[in-house]
Structure 1
Amino acid sequence: MKIIETMLCGKFDQQRCEDSLFVSDDFVAVIDGVSSKTDFRFEGKTTGKLASEFVVETLKTLPREAELPELLNAINQRFARFYEDVPAFPPEEREDCGLQAVCVVYSAYRRTIWQIGDCQVLVDGMPYANVKKSDAVICAMRGLMLDILEMRDGETRIAEHDKEVLDLLFPWMVAVSAFANDPKARYGYCVLNGQEIPLQMVNAIPLEAGEHEVVLASDGYPCLEPTLQQSEQSLEKLLRDDPQGRCLFASARSLGEGQKSFDDRTYIRFLIEE
């Protein structure tokens, strides 16, 4: 396995970045801690950052031959230990606002990529998606509301309106956690949150024998490209042309004050040899 290029960049700074990148001889992973929906902090860290770091901790000690159920179980156990050690976190908030992360993991021993949630994958240029359907609904509603308000009041108040709209939508963004890891729900989605994850909700991508070029990335890259430079250029164009993120149908985001991008972003491109 040969690493070609990597990037990890926080939307504000590295200290507050909720993404993580893990590379070892056995595993390569991009982890995206779900943006915190609570003011709770532990040692100055958000729930998203803590969740991301706990996934990294798990991968460091995971046996190289581990299969997907072992990985999921180990992460859930790490989350459970946190709640045992930190009883100050309100139990009633764990489901909606607790530790949450998504990730994509390549197992060298299994020659398989596990896509747990909406992190992104390219294999030999072919994209693999594991989208959260409710995000597209909320994002479309946000775009509709912003267009109506802009038509009514003009562009001068768009930043003010954007905050108002996100404040209105926020309770619904939290409420969709009711569908987490529920394969029977129309808006069911996969997330690491301490709950059991049905295996059919994880996108397993086995790689055939031979050489493959793989890109793993968080959804901080709205337009994932085969190279880091191309992905950065696509992001820069979007930030310039659409700072409110109205064309982002995967998530409701905008370029807030002090942000360098819509979200934290992580990218790794590597070559899997025969």
Structure 2
Amino acid sequence: MPLTVVESSLRSRAGDPESSADVLLVTPRLVGLLSGVATVPDSTPLDLPEGMGLARYAATVGAASLRAIDPESTLPEVVGELSTQLGRALERIGAPQGAGYAFALVNGVRREVWRVGAMHVLREGLGAAEETGLPPSLLLAAHARALILHALLSKAGEYDQASLKAADPSQVLIAPLLAAHASLANSERALGYGLINGADVPAQHQHLHKLLLGAREVVLASMGYPYPRGTLAASEHALNELLRDDPLLIERFPFVRAAKPTQEGYADRAYLRIRVW
């Protein structure tokens, strides 16, 4: 079925889209987005293209692999191939299982919506929208950070929101929780979550939804949007409202970090609104 991109956006929290770990994928038969993550410290020497971070590298490899797939393939077949290709790419640069990516896409040939990992999917014609939250293990780290910062703010006169946003002491304290979260990628345990990272992705972390017949719209958004909406403008408004009302991200939308004063958001963000005929 033909796919039409109604609107799209790619924004980096650092300002330069080329530094974003989110990558858009637009082909005649597959349209989607990928969001890279890295578990290897930035200081680790790796054989990466100049100026490219490891998380973006992983997402870029994934986009290239998806462009090469047969869209008639099933989701399990594609996930297996994506994992194999990324595993080889990470081995080549000296970072085996040091990075991965989540993805969500619309397959116009199979008329299906695919998702692995933390991505928002709002789909007309499939019942309730799937507004995916943070992986439970990451959410636990976010709540731990909120607990620490609320405790500091309760000490009148010692801390305020501006100082905590500029220098967040909770980051060192939640580091072990973030490491534990990373270790649960593709685990079949209760707090596990899906990620293309070179390892096998259990079936329980591979999500597929059939699109009903007729013209439909699907919205895909990365986790840089806390509350994606049916339009890009509404999604940006919801984000800006959150950053204004909860600048530390410890109340309405607990997260593992806040947006620094020089940044455009708490995470890179990508948005796609796709019409399926």
**What TM-score results when the alignment is normalised by the length of structure 1?**
0.90
The residue number in structure 2 matching 1:11 is 13
Does the Cα contact within 8 Å between 1:48 and 1:101 map onto a contact in 2? yes
Question: One-letter code of the match for 2:107?
Answer: S
Spell out, residue by residue over 1:61-83, the C-alpha distance to the aligned partner (whole angstroms, 9 max, x if none).
Answer: 11121111221122122222223
Does the Cα contact within 8 Å between 1:116 and 1:191 map onto a contact in 2? yes
Residues 165, 62 of structure 1: alpha-carbon distance in 2 compared, 3 angstrom cutoff:
same
The residue number in structure 2 matching 1:226 is 230
Spell out, residue by residue over 1:167-218, the C-alpha distance to the aligned partner (whole angstroms, 9 max, x if none).
Answer: 21122202222222122x1211111111100122122111111121110110
Spell out, residue by residue over 1:13-72, the C-alpha distance to the aligned partner (whole angstroms, 9 max, x if none).
Answer: 112111000011110111111155412352232221111101110111111211112211
Which structure 2 residues correspond to residues 1-274 of structure 1 after superposition, within 5 A? Answer: 1-12=3-14, 13-35=16-38, 37-39=40-42, 40=44, 41=46, 42-43=48-49, 44-87=51-94, 89=95, 94-95=96-97, 98-124=98-124, 126-131=128-133, 132-152=135-155, 153-155=158-160, 157-159=163-165, 163-183=168-188, 185-247=189-251, 249=253, 251-273=255-277
Structure 2, unmatched stretches of 5+, are none
3-state SS of paired residue (1:128): coil
Does the Cα contact within 8 Å between 2:100 and 2:197 map onto a contact in 1? yes
The separation in 2 between residues aligned to 1:84 and 1:130, in whole angstroms, is 31
**What TM-score results when the alignment is normalised by the length of structure 2?**
0.89
CA RMSD of aligned residues (A): 1.9
Does the Cα contact within 8 Å between 1:6 and 1:228 map onto a contact in 2? yes
The separation in 1 between residues aligned to 2:180 and 2:174, in whole angstroms, is 10
Structure 1, unmatched stretches of 5+, are none
The separation in 1 between residues aligned to 2:246 and 2:176, in whole angstroms, is 25
Give runs of ≥4 in structure 1 deviating > 6 Å.
Answer: none
Pairwise CA distance, 1:134: 1.0
The separation in 2 between residues aligned to 1:150 and 1:157, in whole angstroms, is 10
The separation in 2 between residues aligned to 1:179 and 1:241, in whole angstroms, is 32
Aligned-pair identity (%): 27
Pairwise CA distance, 1:248: 5.4
The separation in 2 between residues aligned to 1:57 and 1:223, in whole angstroms, is 29
Residues 195, 35 of structure 1: alpha-carbon distance in 2 compared, 3 angstrom cutoff:
closer
Does the Cα contact within 8 Å between 2:165 and 2:258 map onto a contact in 1? no
